[in-house]
Structure 1
């Protein structure tokens, strides 16, 4: 090869690498631009406290360099060179941590009479405003809506986090939701997975009345396509689901019906209420429960904590934050429901809520993989973004350290989604998915609420602008 050809080849490689790197910065379309505060190829965040999401201790007085949407350098202020031409932001007294990776989220909300409204527009903004840079929807009531909004966000046409978009529920007869088609048999289960995978769904969720055989066939079809399946179960036990090939179990151990007396195969008992009552009477350190933990762990089954939704069922717990972003009628309806919950002296959650926390802590101690989400459904009241921050607070209340809770809400989720090499922790080469906070959540987990800016693939968003764009209107769109 001649010298000129060699130099041309080097130039071509350099251009290709530059294009590849540049493509990593999240695109910003006209409809998204008004929420963006930082969009530059090289940015240096300096004099900042770093919580990297791995569980390591916070590091003071650091500089983090972002180049073309990726983390290019992290180190002490003294040891980290800031590139020429970089935009420099002094963050003295502030903290930078990974963007949240939440894995039981929804783009719909209960609006009455067993109906769930599609709120993909407002909810995707609220998730991002709360520091969520990646999420998995834990069930789909609106068909193509969330698949399409996920793609629009990826193109920069709408603000929001990366979305692992779940297909419509895999559910058998009996639930009675008018937005969920009931499976008739295993053939239906296979066809539904195949159809929605072809349409772009990247995840699947089994629901409360699915049969063991339907779950097994659905899991096999999803895995053949490199996709995962989770479940909020009732008709199928946790052990049976693990044997059927499920990847994840929703709602911690509140939905565990392995120890419900006289549980009939493929039959949901009491819409899950029996499972919660059963759990409340169990010792998570007992031999039988520990054996179930080991069964799940040996089969690489993760468990999703959703303490936020169960808090709304538990007397004595506070009103959720962020209710003022809801349509007034929805906010007032939830406030009435909350008041009624406070008067319920017979609620099983008076005992079960704390026991559910114990189970999650014991599962992790046994070596289990715990991830976290919020499930903004039930009787309402959970507002995206605000509830994701609350989820970390509740993990700390459950006995995890703040750094452990942050890891559960970031790196654990990213690894479950198969995106651990891209996001979930602050490491050189990963996407610049991060949150700037006006506090120190390593010392006080409530400081996760002090979000100043949220970066997704190096583009920095203003959370206040995102929240104000939907205040009082979430519930319409």
Structure 2
């Protein structure tokens, strides 16, 4: 997310920290039942050739109603049997897990899950989180992420290599390029495209170096965006965008593959007298967003266009909630503070206090109300309307901002906010699982629980279909059939988030 229409507009930007890692040696991750690497082994709680989860509640990710008293068999990293407990034969050599009063769900497929965070001291910049964020994502049950923009591309590449080689723990990673933006960019860590030809060459370069997707940003022109899309599509790769200079409708017509955030966060087509290829001022964006009703022909046309094109949109509610004034204390934020590095914790609390006092990040609002709360409410209503109209909504926490939204806990908060918006818990889980897999083009392998799918599974205590907060009661996260201890993963990064 980073800068946006109701974000802090007075930040001075400093150079980002490049956290490099040595290349991972060429090796293959241990298969289900094989001995894991010694660096991974402390977090593995279930590792057998065959695993049976008995008498468990099933939320399969499709949006269908939960099914009770199911048995699921995992072998070779795949789901090999699934059905009513009395109808599934349990192999005699299987490690058996009692699923009573527990629920299995697909691992989340996050579509906006960065490997960096915002740091506010001494000046605002972006810091890579190569140690804590992969562990936090997996601990929460997020087994696949798309990084959706990199501030440290070589670091992200090496993190992915190490996870794939079984040398560290973390989710499967769809690796996204550095941010591709235009000449008016002010973020020092981003790639300023010079023109359409430069855009094509840049896409070709990063595609040749192994990225899976491309992130375009606020100041890109239509010609540059068109070139990015054409070059990426020629290579079978996807493009997503956090837009401003180009409107949602313009980007859709050019063939973009996914829009990040939503119209009450980043779309500028409702701004009067918007100039082509130019990002309007924050004041103009906020005024247009506040004045545009969710129930309006403009919004109806936008939704209809997205539905017609089957164009996904990523929901990233947690990062925007973090900017809302007068947020009541909540358990989620307490858990976040417990994980933060002490210096990062102090900075986050200072910024949170400035928002509550009506002087966000030192801004003088000159008597104007801070619009974050009103715009978040409208965005939540829009996302429910979009989903009910048949729109392909996906989910990710966007752990950028000023550091108050973090990996893992942000994934949970995203689902809880969708439920606050009016989604049922099962619908919210569907958004975060199957819909994400569809958007990434991997729904033949992950995103739902069915025979033949990868054994990327989250086992939680309780019933999230009745109480969405039960998604936080994670016991075991299976990735490729290997079970990881959620509590140990969380404990391993306590006090380091925002630093490593």
Aligned to 2:466: 443
Aligned to 2:379: 356
**Structure-1 separation of matches of 2:336 and 2:499:** 16
Aligned runs of 1:100-111 on 2, under 5 Å? 100-111=108-119
CA RMSD of aligned residues (A): 1.6
**Structure-1 separation of matches of 2:314 and 2:284:** 20
Structure 1 pair 251–244 and aligned structure 2 pair: CA distance change class (3 A): same
- Provide structure 1 residue ranges, at least 5 long, that are not aligned to the other structure: 1-21
Quote the offset at 1:440 in angstroms: 0.6
**TM-score, length-scaled by structure 2:** 0.88
**Aligned residue pairs: how many?**
455
Asked if 1:374 corresponds to 2:397, the answer is: yes
Asked if 1:255 corresponds to 2:263, the answer is: no
Aligned to 1:11: none
Aligned to 1:335: 349
Aligned to 2:82: 74
Aligned to 1:228: 238
Asked if 1:304 corresponds to 2:331, the answer is: no
Q: Which of 36, 48, 57 in structure 2 is aligned with 1:28?
A: 36
**Structure-2 separation of matches of 1:35 and 1:116:** 28
Note the alpha carbon deviations across 1:305-340, whole angstroms, 9 max, x for none.
111011011113245342221111101110111122
Q: Is the 8 A contact 2:32 2:480 kept in 1?
A: yes
Aligned runs of 1:285-434 on 2, under 5 Å? 285-318=295-328, 320=333, 321-344=335-358, 346-434=369-457
Q: Which of 267, 270, 294 in structure 1 is aligned with 2:281?
A: 270
Aligned runs of 1:142-291 on 2, under 5 Å? 142-253=152-263, 254-271=265-282, 274-291=284-301
Quote the offset at 1:24 in angstroms: 7.6
**Larger CA deviation: 337-346 vs 94-103:** 337-346
Structure 1 pair 375–297 and aligned structure 2 pair: CA distance change class (3 A): same
Structure 1 pair 176–260 and aligned structure 2 pair: CA distance change class (3 A): same
**TM-score, length-scaled by structure 1:** 0.92
Quote the offset at 1:49 in angstroms: 0.8
**Larger CA deviation: 235-244 vs 360-369:** 360-369
- Provide structure 2 residue ranges, at least 5 long, that are not aligned to the other structure: 1-29, 359-367
Aligned to 1:168, the other structure's residue is in SS state strand
**Structure-2 separation of matches of 1:206 and 1:24:** 38
**Larger CA deviation: 310-319 vs 86-95:** 310-319
**Structure-2 separation of matches of 1:26 and 1:182:** 46
